Amino acid sequence: MIQKILKKKNKSKIVCLTSYSKNIAKEADKYSDIILVGDSLGSVLYNYNTTRKVTLSNMIEHSKSVRLGVKKSLMVVDMPYNTYGSKSLALKNAKKIIKETKCDAVKLEGGKNILEQVKFLIKNKIPVMGHLGLLPQTTKGKFKSKGKTIKEKKQLIKDSILLQDSGVFSIVLECVKASTAKEITEKLKIPTVGIGSSANCDGQVLVTDDLIGLNDTKIRFVKKFINIKKYLNVGLKKFATEVKTKRFPLKKHSY
C-alpha cells in the first residue's frame, strides 16, 4: 500500500482525509489514498486548546473505530505528544498503536530532533509519515506559517531531506510558504502532503470535520466544501417536531 503512495509522486495527487470514527472513515475511504487519525481530534472533538492533551488511549480508541471503516486507504495514526520522546518509548508506543488498532503507519511531528526515533521505528519495520512546518504539538503561543525566512526555509529543506533519508514514506507540510513547499516537494523523492502549504505539494490533507462544515473553524486554508450542519439540522428538527406532534413513532416503528 505504501508503494502505491510512493508511485503517485509526479503522477497523480494524493488525497488524505482525517477521520476519528467508523462512519466518517467508511465514506472518506472511498475518496482517499490515506486516512489519518489525527491528534486534531483533541481540538475538534474534545475542545482541547492544545493537542498536547491528547493521550495514547484517545488515539487508540478512535483508531479502533476508524479501522472498522477503512478498507482500501492507507491508515495512519498520529503519535500523540510525549509518546515518542526517546527511541525505546517511541517503539513501545508505536507497537502498541499498531497492535491494538491494526493501522498501517504512524505519524510523528518534527525533524532533526526526532530523527533517532524515526530511524528506530523504521528499523523495526514500522512505517512512518513525517510532519514538518507548523507543529501543533510543540508550538507555544500563536500558530504561524513557516518557511518565510531564509533561515526557516533552509531548516525545513534540511529536515525534510533528513526525514527522507531516515526512511519516512511521505511528509505532511503544515502551513509552509508556497515557494518553500515547492522547493521541498521538488527536492524530495517521497511525496509531500500539504495542509495550508499550497498546491505545490504532491497531495492535500484537510480535517474532514472542517471541510464538511461540521466543525466551526475560520482558518485561511480550510475550504468548506459542504455545509453538512444544514442537512443535519433538517433531519434533527424533523425528528423533534414529529416526536412532539406525535407523528413519530407510527405503528410500523413499534413492536
Catalytic residue (one of 174, 183, 186, 242): 174
The DSSP code sequence of 95-110 is: HHHHHHH--SEEE--B
Position of minimal CB gap to ligand KIV:
38
Asked if residues 109 and 138 have their Cβ atoms less than 8 Å apart, the reply is: yes
Site size toward ligand KIV (CB under 6 A) is 11
For this structure, is 174 an active site residue? yes
User: Helix, strand, coil % (nearest 5) of the chain?
Assistant: 45, 15, 40
Cell of 40: 486534531
Of 214 and 236, nearer to ligand KIV (C-beta) is 214
Is there binding between residue 25 and ligand KIV (CB under 6 A)? no
Of 126 and 172, nearer to ligand KIV (C-beta) is 172
Strands (E), the chain: 14-18, 34-37, 74-78, 105-107, 128-133, 170-174, 192-195, 203-206
Is there binding between residue 202 and ligand KIV (CB under 6 A)? no
Among residues 15, 20, 33, 39, the one that binds ligand KIV under rule CB under 6 A: 39
Q: What angle do CA 165, 125, 77 make, to 5 degrees?
A: 90
Please state the closest distance from residue 71 (CB atom) to ligand KIV, in A: 21
Is there binding between residue 205 and ligand KIV (CB under 6 A)? yes
Question: How many Å apart are CA 151 and CA 145, to the nearest integer?
Answer: 14
Please state the closest distance from residue 150 (CB atom) to ligand KIV, in A: 26
Asked if residues 83 and 11 have their Cβ atoms less than 8 Å apart, the reply is: no
Stretch that binds ligand KIV, among 32-40, 88-96, 176-184, 240-248 (CB under 6 A): 32-40
Question: How many Å apart are CA 88 and CA 69, to the nearest integer?
Answer: 31
Is there binding between residue 203 and ligand KIV (CB under 6 A)? no
Is there binding between residue 208 and ligand KIV (CB under 6 A)? no
**Contact pattern from residue 163 through residue 192 relative to ligand KIV, giving x for each residue in contact according to CB under 6 A and a dash for the rest:** ---------x-x------------------
Among residues 21, 58, 59, 78, the one that binds ligand KIV under rule CB under 6 A: 78
Is there binding between residue 110 and ligand KIV (CB under 6 A)? no
Asked if residues 176 and 184 have their Cβ atoms less than 8 Å apart, the reply is: yes
6 membership: H or E segment, kind and range:
helix 2-7
Is there binding between residue 103 and ligand KIV (CB under 6 A)? no
Stretch that binds ligand KIV, among 35-43, 65-73, 88-96, 243-251 (CB under 6 A): 35-43
Nearest to 132 by CA among 116, 151, 113, 104: 113
Cell of 33: 489514498
Chain residues binding ligand KIV by CB under 6 A are 18, 36, 38-40, 78, 172, 174, 195, 205, 207
Question: Which residues are known to be catalytic?
Answer: 174
